Amino acid sequence: MKVLDQSPFGVSRRRALQGGLAVAAAAAWPSAVSAQGSGPIRIGGTLALTGPLAQTGIIHKIVGEFFIERLNKAGGLLGRKVEWVLLDDQSKPDVTRTLYERLITVDKVDLLMGPYATGSILSAMGVAQRYGKILVHHTFGIPSLAKYDMHFPAWPIGFNPERTVTNRVVDTLGDKVKTVAVVTSKFPSVHFIALGARPVFKERGIREVLFLEFDFGTKEFGPIAARVKDANPDFLFMGAIGLEGNQLLEALDKLNWTPKNHFYTYPTPGPLALSPLGKDALSFTAYEDLPPLNQNPEAAEFGKAFTQAANANKIPYPYVETQGGASYSAWQILTHAVRETKSLDDKAMAAFLKKNGAPTIIGRVRFDGPNNYGDDLMRIKQVQNGRWVIVHPKDVATPGASIVIK
Amino acid sequence: MISATLLGQSILSGIFSGCLYAMLGLGMTLTWRYLKVINLAHFAFVLIAAYLTYQLVGKNGWHPLAVAIVLTPAFFALGVALQALIHRYEVNEFASIIVTFGLVMIAEAGLQWFWSADFLKLEAHVMRGTYEIGGLFFPTGEMVMSLVAVAMCVGIWAMMRFTWLGKALRASLDNPQIAASFGIPNRRLSYLVAGASGASTAIGGLFVALLFTLAPSQMFSWLGVVFAAALLGGLGSPLGILGAGLLLGVSEAITMAVTAPAWAPVVPFTLLMVILLIWPERV
């Protein structure tokens, strides 16, 4: 027995067990201490609070502040309060990269929350990868570029949105549309969708009568409008971000021409919905604060709080839409992973999310496909009476709303 | 094959753009030439005037003409105040870029704080509508803006060319000491130029508010092309900036009409480089 109590190296089994436990405890120490620490859990991230993307950055800020406040009122995470360390990336991917470095190495945050916009998310992803941190992010537009295995997109556009979204648009339009003009900004996340849409239109029997690319930041849309009018398509598919859709519509209006049917990839929601020229405009969305999507207490509370905050911040379209929905989902995904794994361990959370996905106000999102993308959950929305309503697919369509096609 | 109507409409758009470039650049080219101040805050003033127009017309129901009557002297005073600071701290030509860039940053933050970062569109009922002549469409707002821009450029040119004030300015530029010995008040003239430049931003801002959607981040939307127009037209030349603006606007528009519109932004700087290569003394 005594012999059996000795290890081959002359150490007693009890001592070996004690040593082993000590090593295991030491290995687990950082996450155990942070998970059970007494201070707040610090989640660091950046948003475009200034610069050209600030119009949308403010939406994500409102959502994050509401989520954290609500979370803390309910007791926080793992019994600790949660603190959001938010920095302004000025809409610049290079600044974003530096700030995420700072959040990890100087501010020593426990977890990361991704920024808004594809370029900045890509920058943050590189930093997260270098430090082995999980990165949940809001609205990343080019899934094929997201190679990091611990990134988790809250925006469920699927791995091939250029095909899946375009097919959904064509499904929505039905067979009335025979010709299309594809006009696109060269802004990367809208440009690749417009390029990918072209073969889909061809496959679906819709003839392309015009294809135009313009530079992001173009102010003068008169000549582009003249060419669209000249082509006279049944359907205008615009790869537009921000205000570009409005700018083209205003230029077309000056030529006394209105598109019969028109789609915009990433329009700023307020100006297009509130402008008379935006009537019947189509776009795609993950979420709108409308039934049936907002029919649960959490979504209802969120929608109400967002509208109040948006009005206070003078946001012209004070309803939760795709950006706000994706933002809220990102927070839900991150906190779900913490709760379910009962830890702040990045690898454990990533493994859990990859295997199980997460429930969000958008729906259940999965991350088990290529580049951690799951199903394309995007819906088609249309401006009707100054508000975006969901018109396709039918199971999530806004009650009373039906697609207007000319 | 491009249709005549499409080409004509595009050229018309280019003319409107060119007039806007001239309107926005007129004050800047004058201060650059006569005061040796490269005033990036000029674009901040334009956007501040645009937001004030949005507020007064869109929210308070003022007529745009009343806004022009109020804002023009106010921005004249703003231009004078900026020039007084530049004199006070003896800011030189290159330092003026940094100083006025700082003002742009402050202005952007201020606009965002007061009006939010979101896009704002002034839905005014004046200067709406379009006239159709010979198959071409002439939007009222753009036509009024263009007429005002031409009037401003020609008016300033005539003043510089035919009045004592213009002669005094040119003398002051050539040799301030000798000019002063002939009784020319250099300092007061500089305030007049700075004030006129400021006043031009009020008019520019008024039309920017009426014709475009506003966002604080659009401060530099026209910076590159207006700089190109100022250099192409010859610094301090009102007719020069009008001609250069029209050349750039029409070139961009034709590029958009006959090739991929994405090539249009290349046009102003290509033209600028070509002209600087063959005519370097232009600047």
Which strand (E) or helix (H) includes residue A138?
A: none
**Which tokens belong to B41?**
């805050």
Distance from CA of B6 to the nearest CA of A (A): 6
Tell me which residue in B115, B118, B252 faces A220 most closely, judged by beta carbons: B252
Residue A219 pLDDT: 86
Tell me which residue in A58, A214, A251 faces B262 most closely, judged by beta carbons: A214
The crossing angle, in degrees rounded to 10, of helices B238-258 and B140-162 is: 150
* Residues of chain B with C-beta less than 8 angstroms from the C-beta of A278: none
Q: Report the C-alpha gap between A345 and A175 in whole angstroms.
A: 51
Q: Report the C-alpha gap between B226 and A162 in whole angstroms.
A: 37
**3-state DSSP helix/strand/coil percent for chain B, to nearest 5?**
80, 5, 20
Distance from CA of A389 to the nearest CA of B (A): 21
Q: Report which of A274, A166, A148 is spatially closest to residue A136, judged by C-alpha positions.
A: A148
* Residues of chain A with C-beta less than 8 angstroms from the C-beta of B252: 220, 223
Band of pLDDT at residue A27, cut at 50, 70 and 90: very low
Strand partners, A236: A181, A262
Q: Report the C-alpha gap between A263 and A296 in whole angstroms.
A: 30
**Which tokens belong to A6?**
């000795």
Asked if A275 lies within 8 A of B264 by C-beta distance, the reply is no
- Residue A19 pLDDT > 50, yes or no? no
User: Going along B207-279, which residue ranges are E strands?
Assistant: 213-214
Asked if B253 lies within 8 A of A220 by C-beta distance, the reply is yes
Tell me which residue in B109, B118, B132 faces A270 most closely, judged by beta carbons: B118
Do A121 and A371 form a contact (C-beta atoms < 8 A)?
no
CA distances to A137, A371, B25, B217 from B32, rounded to whole Å, are: 46, 53, 10, 24
Distance from CA of A200 to the nearest CA of B (A): 22
- B residues 178-207 lying closer than 8 A (beta carbon) to A: none
Asked if B265 lies within 8 A of A217 by C-beta distance, the reply is yes
Residue B42 pLDDT: 96
Three-class secondary structure of residue B54 per DSSP: helix
- Residue A129 pLDDT > 90, yes or no? yes
Count the neighbouring beta carbons within 10 Å of the beta carbon of residue B249: 27
Q: Report the C-alpha gap between B266 and A292 in whole angstroms.
A: 48
Q: Which residue has the higher pLDDT, A25 or A376?
A: A376
- B residues 257-276 lying closer than 8 A (beta carbon) to A: 257, 260-262, 264-265
Tell me which residue in A212, A230, A274 faces B261 most closely, judged by beta carbons: A212
Say if strands A82-88 and A235-242 run parallel, antiparallel, or are unpaired: unpaired
* DSSP symbols for B126-188: TT--EEEETTEEEEHHHHHHHHHHHHHHHHHHHHHHHSHHHHHHHHHHH-HHHHHHTT--HHH
* Residues of chain B with C-beta less than 8 angstroms from the C-beta of A247: 213
- Residue A176 pLDDT > 70, yes or no? yes
**Which tokens belong to B141?**
């707002």
Give the up-direction half-sphere exposure of residue B60: CA atoms within 13 A in the CB hemisphere. 11
**pLDDT, tens only, A183-223:** 999 988 899 999 999 999 999 999 999 999 999 888 889 99
Tell me which residue in A222, A314, A316 faces B10 most closely, judged by beta carbons: A222
Q: Which residue has the higher pLDDT, A290 or B276?
A: A290
Collect the ranges in chain B with pLDDT lower than 50: none
Calculate mean pLDDT across residues A225-231. 96
Question: For a pLDDT cut of 70, what percent of chain A falls above it?
Answer: 91
Nearest chain B alpha carbon to A51 = B217
Q: Is the dihedral of CA B21, B27, B32, B34 positive or negative?
A: positive
Residue A37 pLDDT: 63
Strand partners, A181: A210, A236
The crossing angle, in degrees rounded to 10, of helices A346-356 and A322-341 is: 110
H helices within A206-243, ranges in order? 222-231
ipTM: 0.84
Residue B116 pLDDT: 81
Asked if B260 lies within 8 A of A270 by C-beta distance, the reply is no
Strand partners, B134: none
* Residues of chain A with C-beta less than 8 angstroms from the C-beta of B108: 50
Distance from CA of A51 to the nearest CA of B (A): 5
Do A342 and A336 form a contact (C-beta atoms < 8 A)?
no
* Residues of chain A with C-beta less than 8 angstroms from the C-beta of B109: 50
Asked if A54 lies within 8 A of B17 by C-beta distance, the reply is no
Count the neighbouring beta carbons within 10 Å of the beta carbon of residue A166: 26
Asked if B13 lies within 8 A of A54 by C-beta distance, the reply is no
Asked if A271 lies within 8 A of B12 by C-beta distance, the reply is no
Q: Report the C-alpha gap between A305 and A307 in whole angstroms.
A: 5
For chain A, the residues whose C-beta falls within 8 A of a C-beta of chain B are 49-52, 54-55, 57-58, 91, 186, 212-215, 217-220, 222-224, 226-227, 230, 242-243, 246-247, 251, 254-256, 268, 270-271, 274-275, 313-316
Q: Report the C-alpha gap between A333 and A329 in whole angstroms.
A: 6
Asked if A243 lies within 8 A of B215 by C-beta distance, the reply is yes
* Residues of chain A with C-beta less than 8 angstroms from the C-beta of B256: 214, 220, 223-224, 227
End-to-end CA distance of chain B: 39
Residue A311 pLDDT: 92
Tell me which residue in B119, B222, B262 faces A271 most closely, judged by beta carbons: B119
Asked if A58 lies within 8 A of B130 by C-beta distance, the reply is no
Burial of A85 (0-12, 13-18, 19+ CB in 10 A): middle
Residue A32 pLDDT: 43
End-to-end CA distance of chain A: 90
Q: Report which of A346, A368, A341, A298 is spatially closest to residue A153, judged by C-alpha positions.
A: A368
Q: Which residue has the higher pLDDT, A243 or A234?
A: A234
Select from A50, A243, A250, A254 the residue whose CB has the most chain B CBs within 10 Å, as the one to mutate to test that interface. Answer: A254
Residue A91 pLDDT: 87
- Omega before residue B268 within 30° of 0, cis: no
* DSSP symbols for B76-123: HHHHHHHHHHHHHTT--HHHHHHHHHHHHHHHHHHHHHHH-SS-EE--
- Omega before residue A318 within 30° of 0, cis: no
Count the neighbouring beta carbons within 10 Å of the beta carbon of residue B116: 19
Q: Report the C-alpha gap between A251 and A258 in whole angstroms.
A: 10
Strand partners, A390: A381
Check residue A383 and report its DSSP letter: E
Q: Report the C-alpha gap between A212 and A182 in whole angstroms.
A: 6
CA distances to A63, A75, B16, B33 from A305, rounded to whole Å, are: 9, 19, 44, 54
The phi, psi pair for B247, rounded to 5°, reads -60, -45
- Residue A33 pLDDT > 50, yes or no? no
Tell me which residue in B117, B212, B261 faces A54 most closely, judged by beta carbons: B117
